[in-house]
Chain A
Amino acid sequence: MKVTWVLPGEEEVVADVAAGLNLMEAAQNNNVAGIQGECGGSLSCATCHVHVSDAWREKAGEKGEFEEAMLDMADGEVSDGSRLSCQIIMSDDLDGIRLTVLT
Chain B
Amino acid sequence: MTVWTPTDDGYADLSSHDTFVNGSPHNTFARLRREDPVSWTDWDGGEGFWNVVRHADITELNRNWQVMSSARGIRMEDQTYEEYLARRTFQETDPPEHMKTRMKVGKAFSRPVVADFEDQIRALCQPILDEALEMGTFDATKIIARKLPMMMLGQILGTPDEDLPWLVEKGDALIANTDPDFTDHVLDKMQTDEYRMMPFNSPAGAELFDYAKELLAKKNADGDTSGVLHYILQPDKDGNVMPENEFRNFFCLLVAAGNDTTRYSIAAGLQAMCHQPELLGQMQEGGDIWATAPDEIIRWATPALYFRRTASCDHEIHGKTIRKWDKVLYWWASANRDETMFEDPNRVDLMRSPNRHMSFGQGGPHVCLGMHLARLEVRVLFEEFAKRVKLIEPAGPHKFLRSNFVGGIKELPVTLQAK
Contacts and interface: CB of A to CB of B under 8 A. Distances in A.
Contacts of A74: 110, 112
A43 B95 contact: yes
A42 B59 CA distance: 13
Interface string B291-313: 00000000000000000000000
Contacts of A72: 107, 110
A44 B98 contact: yes
A39 B378 CA distance: 21
B346 interface: no
Nearest to A31: B354
A38 B367 contact: yes
A86 to B, nearest CB: 10
Nearest to A72: B107
If over half of A's interface residues share one DSSP class (helix, strand or loop), that class is named, otherwise mixed; here it is loop
A42 B103 contact: no
Interface string A23-52: 000000001000000111111111100000
A38 B111 CA distance: 12
B354 A40 contact: no
Interface string B91-131: 00001101100110011001111000000000000000000
A1 interface: no
A73 interface: yes
B96 A44 contact: no
B63 A66 contact: no
B365 A39 contact: yes
Contact of B362 (A39, A70, A75): A39
A41 B112 CA distance: 20
B48 interface: no
Interface string A55-93: 000000000001001101111000000000000000000
B24 interface: no
A87 to B, nearest CB: 13
A41 B59 CA distance: 12
Q: State the majority secondary structure of interface residues on B.
A: loop
Contacts of B360: 38
A39 B96 contact: no
A73 B366 contact: no
Contacts of A42: 63, 65, 95, 364-365, 367
A31 B354 CA distance: 8
Given A66-B103, A69-B103, A70-B103, A75 B112 contact: yes
B259 interface: no
A67 to B, nearest CB: 10
B359 to A, nearest CB: 11
B363 interface: yes
B157 to A, nearest CB: 20
A44 B102 contact: yes
Interface string B135-171: 0000000000000000000000000000000000000
Interface in B265-303: none
Contact of B63 (A40, A45, A69, A73): A40
A75 to B, nearest CB: 5
Contacts of A47: 111
A44 B112 contact: no
Given A69-B103, A70-B106, A41 B366 contact: no
Given A31-B354, A73-B110, A75-B111, A43 B362 contact: no
A39 B364 contact: yes
A77 to B, nearest CB: 10
Nearest to B100: A66
Interface string B63-102: 1010000000000000000000000000000011011001
A38 B362 contact: yes
Given A66-B96, A66-B103, A69-B103, A40 B363 contact: yes
Contacts of B99: 43-44, 66, 69
Nearest to B65: A42
Interface string B335-359: 0000000000000000000100000
A40 B112 CA distance: 20
Contacts of A44: 98-99, 102, 364-367
22 contacts: A31-B354, A39-B363, A39-B367, A40-B62, A40-B363, A40-B367, A42-B63, A42-B365, A44-B99, A44-B102, A44-B365, A44-B367, A46-B106, A66-B96, A69-B99, A70-B103, A73-B107, A73-B110, A73-B112, A74-B112, A75-B111, A75-B112
Listed from nearest, the 4 A-B pairs whose CB atoms lie closest are A73-B110, A40-B363, A42-B365, A39-B367
